[in-house]
Structures are given as C-alpha cells and as structure tokens.
Amino acid sequence: MAQQARRKENGVTSESHWPTTIRLADEGHTLHVAFESGESYALPAEYLRVNSPSAEVQGHSPDQKVTVAGKKNVRILRAEPVGRYAARLIFDDGHDSGFFTWEYLFTLGAGRETLWQAYLDELAAKNLHR
C-alpha cells in the first residue's frame, strides 16, 4: 500500500497523496505526476480527458456519467494550480472544467489499467470510437 503524506493546513491534519512534480510532456499528450510517497505516473491526455472529474463528464450522480468519445488526439495546453489541493487542466478541445485533486490524480494513476479497460469496454458497448 502506498505511503500517505500528512499535511497540516489551517490547523487541521489530513492524510492525502501530495505531488512533488507535475509536468506536461510530449507536446501536451502526457501529464507526468510524481508523489512524495514515491509513486509516479505518466498519464495520457486522452485518459485524463475522458475521466475528467467535471460534472460535464461525471454528471451529478453515477447514472449521469457520460462516455466521452473521439478524444484520441486531445492535448493538454496547460495545467493550472487550484489552491493547494488540485490542478485545472486546459485541453485543446476547449474542456477546462473539473479540478483534478491530488488524490484523484493518484487514483487515476494507480488504477490506470483497470479504468482504461473499462473505458474501452464502454466505448465498444456503445459502438463509439476513441
């Protein structure tokens, strides 16, 4: 199990995964994230875009989740900090809502294989394409 860093902010101690590096690579096709606990992940822009935490993608309940298709060549133009807890990713298709918290980025990295396969299966079931 991954080690978790403890942070104290505004007098409250919380446990979470904290990044040490967040950088774009491959002309925005990959986001590299490294965490204090030693894990690091290279997350494709397409993977991040189709798993955006925004209401536009996730809906307001699990049954409202949208299957986002046609994002195979999407790029991340910028990653902007949101306070001390998240990043806002600006994609070249205009999508810029949803805050990727450090915990969510860690979850996407750690569960990439399973989450990606579930996405591909969902596309196939709906006859959609990347």
For 15-124, CATH gives 3.30.2020.30
| 31-77 pLDDT per residue, tens | 999 999 999 999 999 999 999 999 889 988 888 999 999 999 999 99
Residue 11: how many CA atoms within 13 Å on its side-chain side?
0
| 15-30 pLDDT per residue, tens | 578 999 999 999 999 9
